[in-house]
């Protein structure tokens, strides 16, 4: 095989070269009109422009050799012809004209003239009195040059608009007749550079797609056994959990062509384009069987057709219908497996989720501690990290982080190390990157008055003390009076010790007390309250209302789901809205929410009044050092390390 054959890449489409015929035609037309304008308004420099008196003088002087008469109107004629230029001979009215025979004119002495005259009988007799002058009359129509000159600007504008429009179409849709062609890009396995080892923290999802990989590698084995492989798999999960990465890993592991397209690429401004692109995409995929089609953000075209959750859109419905038929219709052929990703599975059409189309729904959830540890290991290989960095501590301190968040964390740590001129990222860089990703970057440039610094110190100290004296509150990670992220002043940062998927009533009550601690500290110390606790009150109110209306944690109203009247009515798939509660029930809900908030406020007041000295000590330390972590606070207040204990009733196995 030659080198040229070995370098051939089948993934690259052979695009036809653009023919230069159209460009040549437009160039010739433009040149033609330029020549017409030039001949019309810019005669040759050898042509003399005369008026009627100049012509009569030259005629009397015997300089005229020939005249071509072209009528322009009834009285105006255009004269063109040859004349003999003699600088010494000057024609006057008193000098008798000396006839000059045409044979006396030499070719080198021939010149041309152009003149417009008013044709009369006297002028006709004057012209006839010189028989040696050759006179020709041309009855030429002059309307078409005028018409061309008039229409030329219009034609140029139309041509320019057509040129720009056709070019825009070619750039957007590869030609006016190519709108229905699929925009799916075929990627060969060797171009993906993604392996299964790069997908960490999703062990269950990788097991789900293992059968798809085996089928793509050896489809004959499954056909001989009579087994049917799933035609499609829907990857669901929050943003950043690795849905697209898993699809690339599947195509790379199966060593098959990979067609990638986004759901929004199907919908265009022209009707029927989306359905045509779906058919063309599957037709291309069948020519490369077995292969894999990946549709990212499929909710752009797969929204439910018979509910008010997505609105009406005929073009999107036609695209969805075409996709349903191609995946499982009368003429469906095997060998093409469809993977789709979405973070909104609740809005997808039920016909798209039934067996035979998307047979499997693979969930990629936020990783747990073990998954976060593996993800950090994958991304830490790409940067230089210090040997003292403990990834277990970072994984334990990043609950709720997705794979994309962890990748951003590692990258931010590398940037911090480079900014501080270090050879490798240290543990301090990793922790600062974690805090930056979760809460935002410190804003030390903000100018804060001394009064607001003291107010912020007591406010954050109030949150911290209440959190450290509540048994079920989330442990304090760090407290600062430096603005960070969206916080205008300070922030009290808490981190759970472990992943938690449920919250108890005791935890909700302690969390509301912690939120009220800042406002109560201001009231105790300054005998006044400020607007700095507005976000705390908002968060506490949401918790209390959720306890009463959603979680059924109120003894008076009981375990009943109530609709929040501040939100719009949710609509089920069958179009039936949830029932709203009565005004009497609304009043009971408001009273119970207020009671929970007042009890949390009173609980925070009791803790802070009892620990008033600790409040002063912690506030002074914050004013001096500005930032303290949980270990420093416990050492300052001589508090023991928190015990890793849960609720007593849970420990006893109830």
pLDDT in tens, 243-274: 888 888 888 888 888 888 887 777 765 566 77
Cα separation of the two ends of the chain: 74
The CATH classification number of 450-651 equals: 1.20.58.760
**310 pLDDT tier (thresholds 50, 70, 90):** very low
pLDDT at 39: 60
- For 19, list phi and psi in degrees, rounded to 5: -75, 135
| Percent of the chain that is helix, strand, coil (3-state, to 5) | 50, 15, 40
Identify the top-confidence range among 125-139, 159-173, 177-191, 347-361: 347-361
333 versus 137: the higher-pLDDT residue is: 137
Give the contacts of 116 (CB within 8 A, at least 6 positions apart). 51, 52, 72, 76, 77, 78, 79
Q: Which of 339-353, 421-435, 560-574 has the lowest mean pLDDT?
A: 560-574
Instruction: Quote the strand ranges of 141-257, DSSP E.
Output: 185-187, 232-236
Active site residue 460: yes
pLDDT at 522: 92
Which of 297, 460, 522, 621 is the catalytic position?
A: 460
340 versus 178: the higher-pLDDT residue is: 340
- Report whether pLDDT(547) > 90: yes
**465 pLDDT tier (thresholds 50, 70, 90):** very high
Each domain of the chain, given as residue ranges in start order, spans 51-140, 185-363, 369-439, 450-651
Asked if residues 459 and 518 have their Cβ atoms less than 8 Å apart, the reply is yes
Asked if residues 133 and 100 have their Cβ atoms less than 8 Å apart, the reply is no
DSSP three-state, residue 594:
helix
pLDDT at 12: 42
Instruction: Quote the strand ranges of 312-355, DSSP E.
Output: 336-342
pLDDT at 224: 79
Average pLDDT over residues 157-161: 77
DSSP state for residue 300 in the 8-state scheme: G
Report the relative pairing of strands 491-494 and 476-480 from DSSP bridges: antiparallel
**90 pLDDT tier (thresholds 50, 70, 90):** very low
DSSP state for residue 199 in the 8-state scheme: -
pLDDT at 510: 94
Average pLDDT over residues 387-397: 86
Mean pLDDT rounded to a whole number for the chain: 77
pLDDT at 120: 80
What percent of the chain has pLDDT above 90?
15
pLDDT at 271: 63
163 versus 42: the higher-pLDDT residue is: 163
Average pLDDT over residues 587-607: 94
Please say whether the structural domain 185-363 has been given the CATH code 3.40.50.300. Answer: yes
Fold observed for domain 51-140: 3.30.720
pLDDT at 95: 37
Average pLDDT over residues 314-343: 78
Give the contacts of 122 (CB within 8 A, at least 6 positions apart). none
The CATH classification number of 369-439 equals: 1.10.8.60
Average pLDDT over residues 308-325: 70
Average pLDDT over residues 308-319: 63
**86 pLDDT tier (thresholds 50, 70, 90):** low
pLDDT at 592: 94
The CA distance from 357 to 302, in Å, is 12
- Report whether pLDDT(605) > 60: yes
**160 pLDDT tier (thresholds 50, 70, 90):** confident
DSSP three-state, residue 234:
strand
pLDDT at 577: 47
- For 134, list phi and psi in degrees, rounded to 5: -80, 120
- Report whether pLDDT(242) > 90: no
The CA distance from 179 to 237, in Å, is 32
The CA distance from 302 to 21, in Å, is 43
pLDDT at 569: 45
> Which residues on adjacent β-strands are paired with residue 627?
480
**333 pLDDT tier (thresholds 50, 70, 90):** low
pLDDT at 518: 92
Identify the top-confidence range among 95-99, 150-154, 613-617: 613-617
């Amino acid at each position: 095989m030659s080198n040229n054959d070995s370098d051939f890449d089948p993934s690259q489409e052979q695009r036809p070269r653009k023919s230069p015929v159209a460009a040549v035609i437009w160039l010739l037309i433009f040149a033609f009109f330029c020549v017409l304008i030039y001949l019309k308004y810019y005669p040759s420099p050898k042509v003399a422009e005369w008026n009627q008196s100049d012509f009569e003088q030259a005629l009397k002087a015997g300089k005229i050799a020939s005249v071509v008469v072209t009528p322009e109107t009834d009285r105006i004629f255009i004269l063109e012809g040859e004349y003999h230029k003699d600088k010494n001979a000057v024609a006057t009215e008193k000098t008798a004209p000396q006839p000059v025979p045409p044979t006396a004119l030499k070719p080198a002495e021939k010149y041309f003239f152009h003149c417009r005259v008013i044709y009369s009988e006297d002028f006709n007799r004057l012209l006839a009195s010189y028989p040696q002058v050759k006179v020709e009359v041309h009855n030429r129509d002059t309307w078409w040059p005028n018409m061309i000159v008039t229409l030329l600007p219009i034609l140029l504008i139309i041509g320019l608009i057509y040129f720009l429009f056709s070019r825009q179409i070619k750039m957007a849709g590869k030609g006016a007749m190519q709108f229905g062609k699929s925009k799916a890009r075929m990627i060969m396995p060797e171009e993906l550079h993604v392996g299964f080892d790069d997908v960490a923290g999703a062990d269950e999802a990788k097991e789900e797609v293992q059968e798809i990989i085996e089928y793509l590698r050896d489809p004959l084995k499954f056909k001989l056994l009579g087994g049917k492989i799933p035609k499609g798999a829907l990857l669901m999960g929050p943003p950043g959990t690795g849905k697209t990465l898993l699809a690339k890993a599947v195509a790379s592991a199966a060593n098959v062509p990979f067609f990638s397209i986004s759901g929004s690429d199907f919908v265009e401004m022209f009707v029927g384009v989306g359905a045509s692109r779906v058919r063309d995409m599957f037709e291309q995929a069948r020519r490369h069987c077995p292969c894999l089609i990946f549709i990212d953000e499929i909710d752009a075209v797969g929204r439910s057709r018979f509910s008010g959750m997505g609105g009406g859109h005929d073009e999107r419905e036609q695209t969805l219908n075409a996709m349903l038929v191609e995946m499982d219709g009368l003429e469906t052929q095997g060998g093409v497996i469809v993977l789709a990703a979405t973070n909104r599975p609740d809005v997808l059409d039920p016909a798209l989720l039934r067996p035979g189309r998307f047979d499997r729904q693979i969930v990629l959830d936020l990783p747990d501690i073990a998954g976060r540890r593996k993800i950090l290991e994958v991304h830490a290989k790409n940067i230089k990290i210090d040997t003292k960095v403990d990834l277990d501590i970072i994984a334990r301190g990043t609950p709720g982080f997705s794979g994309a968040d962890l990748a951003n964390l590692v990258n931010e740590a590398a940037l911090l190390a480079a900014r501080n001129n270090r050879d490798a990222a240290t543990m301090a860089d990793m922790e600062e990157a974690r805090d930056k990703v979760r809460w935002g970057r410190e804003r030390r440039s903000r100018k804060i008055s001394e009064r607001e610094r003291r107010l912020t110190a007591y406010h954050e100290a109030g949150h911290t003390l209440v959190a450290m004296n509540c048994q079920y509150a989330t442990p304090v990670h760090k407290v600062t009076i430096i603005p960070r992220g969206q916080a205008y002043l300070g922030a009290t940062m808490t981190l759970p010790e472990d992943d938690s998927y449920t919250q108890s009533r005791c935890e909700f009550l302690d969390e509301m007390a912690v939120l009220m601690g800042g406002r109560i500290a201001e009231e105790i110390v300054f005998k006044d309250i400020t607007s700095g606790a507005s976000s705390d009150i908002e968060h506490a109110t949401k918790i209390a209302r959720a306890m009463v209306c959603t979680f059924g944690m109120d003894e008076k109203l009981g375990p009943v789901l109530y609709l929040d009247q501040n939100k719009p009515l949710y609509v089920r798939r069958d179009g039936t809205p949830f029932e709203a509660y009565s005004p009497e029930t609304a009043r009971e809900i408001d009273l119970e929410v207020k009671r929970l908030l007042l009890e949390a406020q009173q609980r925070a007041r009791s803790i802070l009044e009892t620990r008033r000295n600790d409040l002063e000590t912690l506030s002074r330390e914050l004013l001096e050092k500005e930032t303290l972590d949980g270990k420093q606070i416990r050492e300052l207040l001589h508090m023991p390390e928190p015990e890793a204990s849960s609720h007593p009733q849970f420990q006893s196995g109830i």
